[in-house]
Amino acid sequence: MRTARTAAAVIAAIALAAGCSSSGGKDSEDSGDGGAGGGKAVSTPRLKIAMVTHAGAGDTFWDIVQSGAEQAAAKDNVRFLYSNDKEAKGQAELVQSAIDKKVDGIAVSLAKPEAMKDVLARAAKAGIPVVTINSGSEFSKRFGALSHIGQDESVAGEAVGDELRGRGLKKALCVIHEQGNVSLEQRCAGVKKTFGGPVENLNVEGTDAPSAQSAIEAKLQAAKDIDAVVTLGAPIAAVAVQAREGAGSKAEIDTFDLNAEVVKRLKAKEVGFAVDQQPYLQGYLAVDELWLHAYNANALGGGKPVLTGPQIITEKDVPALEKYTARGTR
């Protein structure tokens, strides 16, 4: 397995007078309390920072990203504007809206990077610094971003392949819940690279749980020798557990990403392991970097991604993590 490129950076904590942020779902700007942990705000002029992601509403992963961003915004005296759209065209339009609002910085995910190329060029032309998060790290520098914050998806996939092989598993199903998402494809490719056994990809509609469950169940019924199912998002892990039961399969369910539900299923031994990329850090560090850039011309990573994962989480890690997942920060 190749070495991960750049470890994470250390962010300075600045404490002075109190502040607040605003947040929301699709293109909303509701007031928030800054997320878990409290904290005090800096005395620097108030900035306006937008975060635009390719998913969000009802997704526990993106709830955690947003929570981290809100906490940093509260500390940094930032008005935080959050919006999301699962369609690439819609996401690009939301970035353009942020440019039109003359924000001081933009954090954006690059699940479908080519759709974001032109609008990020317009952000650069407008003098608005950009930090990319979560997906599309290889496009970040090319598109003019200060840095990318997330995990290397290929490295994460390779870590999963290693873990599956170490557990003695022989044949894996890799469930892709969003077609065209480059990060998900990289994860499955990474699994294939190091697993050693056959890995079959299965595309499902992640926003339609019954349909996804039926597709996974049918595959497990048709291929009885599948002994590992790898899901690429925490909500799909629960769907896969139900599909396994419906198919009468004994396949181990393992997943990328962590939330309170996955921790419960790890504890109950319904899920073998999870890969945590620490989404709270992705949101927090993105806003904090944009503030640091405005305040002190800082940039993280030295031209390389700032890695927030992968970290393999198993049943033995549950006692240390339960309180954090319960409050929505892991």
Reported as a single tens digit per residue, the pLDDT across 82-123 is 999 999 999 999 999 999 999 999 999 999 999 999 999 999
Q: In percent, how much of the chain has pLDDT > 70?
A: 88
Q: Are residues 97 and 118 in the same domain?
A: yes
In a domain, 33, yes or no: yes
Q: Where in the sequence is the domain holding 143, given as residue range(s)?
A: 21-151+278-308
Clarify whether residues 144 and 191 are in a common domain: no
Same domain, 140 and 160: no
pTM for this structure? Answer: 0.82
Same domain flag for 136 and 208: no
Query: Per-residue pLDDT for 38 more than 80?
Result: no
The mean pLDDT of 267-285, rounded to a whole number, is 97
Residue 37: pLDDT over 60: no
User: Which CATH number covers residue 294?
Assistant: 3.40.50.2300
Lowest-confidence segment of 40-44, 165-169, 250-254, 257-261 by average pLDDT: 40-44
Regarding whether 177 and 87 lie in a shared domain, the answer is no
Q: Report the number of distinct structural domains present in the chain.
A: 2
Average pLDDT of the chain to the nearest whole number: 89
227 assigned to some structural domain: yes
Q: Are residue 73 and residue 168 in the same domain, yes or no?
A: no
Query: Residue 289: inside a domain, yes or no?
Result: yes
- Count of residues in the chain: 330
Residue 80 covered by a domain: yes
pLDDT at 189: 98
Residue 205 and residue 131 share a domain: no
- The verdict on residue 164 lying in a domain is yes
